[in-house]
């Protein structure tokens, strides 16, 4: 299986779950639907493009490398003529995640890899205002599953965070079929439509496992001040 890992980091990220007009919360990790949306944007799929639904078939897992703190913003909006309401939006501050997506279709995974480096539409982490912190860091692997990769790649948290939480395990949330020995749960995170006026999501099964950060590959300590620049 061809697998891509994507490092997701930004000052603010937000991954919506069930929401109302007045309050929009965030999960504490990137949802599969949010990552599918980002990949679809990179590929140039518009919201009504039926090819988006096929992206649900990608195998998916995410590792929480640096848990973000919640920030709540409020906005005053004119709900209707002469009627204003205060709405609340939750964001994750300074979070770092490692996402892994995979497929047996190697050519398609290469296409996604290229698109993430040359996106057709603007990429964002959850909400449109949440731009990634620079060029996305994407790596390719060949492995049996995204979970296997996330049990090997280096811990991406800031040094101060790694020092403070070195004794804590990292959560890995994955498609339930990738963790058959773990108890599963259902989340409303399967894309049916991204249409602006008719967004629809179905349920998918997930499972959670933990990774000892001290067992992961060690990152190089070399500092490359220009590493964030795209070289292609």
Give tens-digit pLDDT for 71-92: 998 888 777 777 888 888 899 9
CATH of the domain at 196: 3.30.70.2660
Q: Model's pTM, two decimal places? A: 0.88
Mean per-residue pLDDT, 31-55 = 95
With 0-12 / 13-18 / 19 or more C-beta atoms within 10 angstroms meaning exposed / middle / buried, residue 48 is exposed
Its domain, for residue 132, covers 2-10+29-64+95-215
Domain assignment of residue 23, yes or no: no
Rounded Cα–Cα distance for residues 216 and 214 (Å) = 6
Q: How far is CA 199 from the centre of its chain?
A: 19
Domain assignment of residue 72, yes or no: no
Domain assignment of residue 52, yes or no: yes
Please state, as a whole number, how many other Cβ atoms lie within 10 Å of the Cβ of residue 164. Answer: 11
Domain assignment of residue 57, yes or no: yes
Higher pLDDT, 127 or 93: 93
- What band does 220 get if pLDDT is binned at 50, 70 and 90? very low
Give tens-digit pLDDT for 161-215: 999 999 999 999 999 999 999 998 999 999 998 887 788 889 999 999 999 998 8
Please state, as a whole number, how many other Cβ atoms lie within 10 Å of the Cβ of residue 165. Answer: 15
Domain assignment of residue 229, yes or no: no
Rounded Cα–Cα distance for residues 125 and 116 (Å) = 13
Rounded Cα–Cα distance for residues 36 and 112 (Å) = 11
* Structural domain total, the chain: 1
Q: Residue 56: which of 18, 103, 99 has the closest Cα?
A: 103
Mean per-residue pLDDT, 32-53 = 95
Domain assignment of residue 77, yes or no: no
Least reliable range by pLDDT among 1-5, 39-43, 130-134: 130-134
Domain assignment of residue 70, yes or no: no
What pLDDT, on the 0 to 100 scale, is given for residue 129? Answer: 85
What are 203's two structure tokens? 């349920």
Rounded Cα–Cα distance for residues 181 and 13 (Å) = 31
| Mean pLDDT of the chain, nearest integer | 89
Domain assignment of residue 24, yes or no: no
């Amino acid at each position: 299986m061809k697998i891509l890992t994507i490092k997701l980091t930004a000052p603010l990220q937000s991954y919506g779950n069930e929401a109302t007009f007045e309050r929009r919360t965030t999960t504490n990790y990137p949802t599969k639907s949010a990552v599918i949306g980002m990949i679809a944007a990179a590929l140039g799929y518009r919201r009504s493009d039926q090819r988006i639904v096929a992206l649900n078939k990608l195998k998916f897992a995410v590792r929480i490398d640096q848990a973000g703190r919640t920030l709540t913003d409020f906005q005053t909006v004119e709900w209707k003529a002469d009627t204003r309401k205060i709405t609340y939006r939750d964001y994750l501050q300074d979070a770092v995640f490692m996402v892994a997506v995979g497929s047996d279709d190697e050519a398609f995974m290469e296409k996604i890899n290229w698109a993430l480096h040359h996106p057709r539409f603007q990429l964002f982490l959850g909400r449109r205002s949440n731009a990634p912190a620079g060029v996305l860091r994407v790596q390719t692997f060949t492995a049996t599953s995204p979970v296997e990769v996330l049990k090997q790649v280096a811990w991406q948290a800031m040094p101060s965070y790694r020092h403070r939480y070195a004794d804590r395990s990292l959560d890995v949330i994955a498609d339930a079929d990738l963790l058959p020995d773990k108890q599963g749960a259902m989340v409303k995170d399967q894309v049916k439509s991204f249409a602006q006026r008719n967004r629809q999501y179905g349920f998918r099964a997930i499972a959670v496992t933990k990774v000892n950060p001290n067992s992961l590959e060690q990152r190089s300590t070399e500092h490359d001040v220009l590493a964030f620049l795209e070289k292609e």
